[in-house]
Structure 1
Amino acid sequence: MTSLVELGAHLPPQSATLAELAAPLGMSEQDVQVYTKFLGMSEVRVAGDADYGDLLVAAGRTLTALRGQEHRVRYVIAARSMQITGMGRRNPLHEAAARLGVPHAVTLTLTQRFCSGTLTAIDLAGRLLDADGDADGLAVVLAGEKCIPHTFSQLVDGVAVMGDSTAACLVAPAGDRDVVLSVATRRLARFGTLTMAPEEYKEYSRLYAPTISAVVHDALDRAGVALADVALVLPHHVNVFSWRGVCKELGLARDRVHLDLLPVTGHCFGADQLIAHVDAARKARLEQGDLYLMVATGLGGEFAAMVLRR
């Protein structure tokens, strides 16, 4: 079964408070209070002059297990929400692969899953490695993006403020730690647009928690385990309020969802679950043998869940 050899995260050292971002993003003082007190966000990490490629490299370089094993890497996969990452004459992902010492690897981007795409990318990496039949093969999955400052890419209105933190994981076709037991996805295609009319958004909001619950139970069923067996949920950092609704729908205690970093990182596209994993492991919230869930949603009605064993 697919195994995550190591996970790493890069949190840029510079932060910006929501109060500092308010004017450029067109947020009122009342908006800032809603995001802070109601949605659970206070600041985000910002990358300054670093570009998308720099952030991917910074995340990749946190993988200590990659050092000296670069020759084994067969694939580099970036899970991306935004279609455009820079000038057309450049390919930042290929540049990042070269800077990480793996220019020989097949390098590709997975899109159209938006912020849920990282779980699909991990699943794809495992499937590709398994199909190759090389027990020593590895793949690098990269997640997270660079916001275009003061634009729509930095704010999902009324939902989340985006940050520039990135993450990486080293994937093997088999292993005995952080083993992927199952993955499940769902797509509500009728919401497959970046913007929704008020009535559409109302309907999407109504279906949001039940659909997450459904995809979580689908993943649990495929793994042959129950929610009661799960030690921890590593979530997408949309906001605290939405997770309250999801926890209620699932019948899950909120302290089993690791949202510790949401107030200081914001929502980091597809990197949230990997960032949460690094933080949870550092705080000893994941012990050897624990079952845990990664859960993600994305714009366009994308939902995904993955069951793993530590």
Structure 2
Amino acid sequence: MSVGLSRVAVQLPRGIEAVDDVLVRSGCRPMERRMFAKVYGLRDSPTLAADERMEDLLVEAGRAALDGGPAALILYGHTLLMAEVDLCGEFPDRLRSRLGLSGSRFYGLSHINCASVLRAVELARSFLGRPGADPDERVLVLGGDQGSASDRGRFITGSTVAGDSAIGLLVHGPGAAARPRYRYLAGASGRDTRFHRNMRMPAEEFALFNRICSEQAVETLDRAARAAGLAMDRLDHVMLHLSNQVFARSFSRQSGIPKDRIHLDLLAERGHNFGTDALMALQHADRTGRLRPGDRCALVAIGLGAYFQAVIVEVAEDR
């Protein structure tokens, strides 16, 4: 079945916080703070303003993706547990109502951390391919977390600082009226159970995870590329999990994919934003005119735990 993806809708908060300020509050020493700035390439992190709520970002991203149309299913991928009162309780019903989708089913996807949003794309594809599915059905995929709710979840030891953002996109089958911006080619998932302690890992396990996560991400992407009938060197663009520059350099070296194909434009100004990184990079590349019809784009996500997800899409002809 030919599955298409719409353009990605990105919603950012009005606030911006310096990564260094988060590191200071987290008790990092000057040497580690310099490492984050000079070596990791992290500068700013999008942060909700005092009068903003994460729910509002998700609603705006969802409305932009829907563009007035329906969706049979909503999948919300997130890393953090619902930290604020306004994101608990009746959150699914309230979100469906605000999106004009009160009759649609809603499921949250979590506990695979930053791999959750790209995994939601895979689950949307499975839903659209189920027996008896209408060919014109659409699935709304939402993603985003409020990193600023707690520095404990925002600062990831020896790796990155996470911010607040939301994305929305539609996944639809072959009968959709709107022409898809991207054609789904293949995907692959992976897990390394050595890192099941997640944020409770001791320092030596964090160090090991940071050393080998690019190796695991490359292996997952290689399986996705082969499923699409491609070698990794045939990929035109790679949109990575934006933890830091060191990870990107290691990924490039281990995969053989040239650095100029790996999109890091947003790293300094947005840094890491949980499961939305790769899709925000895709949206940015499209918006700035870097994508051409027929280009193959690889989206890669890594979640502590450790979980890996890769999705490969092909850019379709624009209208």
Name the TM tier (shorter chain).
Answer: over 0.9
What TM-score comes out, normalization by structure 1 length? 0.93
**Residue in structure 2 matched with residue 197 of structure 1 by the alignment:** 202
Higher alpha-carbon deviation: 231-240 or 92-101: 92-101
Q: Distance in 1 between matches of 2:83 and 2:172?
A: 28
Aligned to 1:169: 169
The TM-score, its normalising length taken from structure 2, stands at: 0.90
Provide the C-alpha distance between the structure 2 equivalents of 1:278 and 1:200, rounded to a whole number of angstroms: 34
Match of 1:74 in 2: 72
Change (3 A) 1:90 1:306: same
1:163–1:232 distance in 2 versus 1, CA, 3 Å: same
Secondary structure in structure 1 of the residue aligned to 2:14: coil
Answer yes or no: is the 8 Å Cα contact 1:25–1:150 preserved in 2.
Answer: no
Identical positions, percent: 27
3-state secondary structure, aligned to 1:145: strand
In 1, are the aligned partners of 2:115 and 2:307 still within 8 Å (CA)?
Answer: yes
Q: Distance in 2 between matches of 1:35 and 1:61?
A: 35
Q: Partner residue of 1:36?
A: 37
Residue 302, structure 1, aligned to residue 307, structure 2: yes
Read off the aligned partner of 1:139 and give its amino acid letter.
V
Deviations 1:166-215 (A, max 9, x none): 11111102365411111101101121122223443344344322211111
Give, as a single letter, the amino acid of the residue that structure 2 aligns with 1:69.
G
2:77 counterpart letter in structure 1: A
Task: Check the 8 A contact 1:140/1:168 in 2, yes or no.
Answer: yes
Q: Is the 8 A contact 1:231 1:286 kept in 2?
A: no
* 1:159–1:203 CA distance, 2 compared to 1 (3 A): closer
Q: Specify the alignment match of 1:229 in structure 2.
A: 234
For the 8 Å contact 2:242–2:277, the answer to whether it is kept is yes
1:291 to 280, 288, 296: 296
- The gaps in structure 1 that reach 5 residues or longer are none
Structure-2 change in CA distance of 1:223 and 1:152 (3 Å): same
Structure 2 residue 63 is matched with structure 1 residue 61: yes
Aligned counterpart, 1:182: 186
Question: Aligned-pair distance for 1:306?
Answer: 1.0
Displacement after TM superposition at 1:124 (Å): 0.5
**Alignment match, 1:111:** 110
What SS does structure 2 have at the residue aligned with 1:41?
coil
The one-letter amino acid of 1:5's match is S
1:53–1:95 contact (8 Å) kept in structure 2: no
Write the distance in 2 (CA, Å) between the matches of 1:13 and 1:97: 24
Q: Which moved more, 1:189-198 or 1:83-92?
A: 83-92
Contiguous gaps of at least 5 residues in structure 2: none
Shift of 1:250: 0.5
Moved more, 146-155 or 122-131: 146-155
Task: Tell me: CA distance 1:191–1:165, structure 2 relative to 1, closer, same or farther (3 Å).
Answer: same
Aligned equivalent of 2:3: 2
Q: Which shifted more, 192-201 or 124-133?
A: 192-201
Q: 1:107-256 counterparts in 2 under 5 A?
A: 107-131=106-130, 132-174=132-174, 177-194=181-198, 195-256=200-261
Q: Tell me the secondary structure at the aligned position of residue 169 of structure 1.
A: strand
Q: Match for 2:231: what amino acid?
A: A
Once the 2 structures are TM-superposed, how far is the Cα of residue 143 of structure 1 from its aligned partner? 0.7
Residue-by-residue CA offset, 1:234-254 (whole Å, 9 max, x unaligned): 111111111101110001111
Post-superposition shift, 1:261? 0.7
* Partner AA of 2:184 in structure 1: V
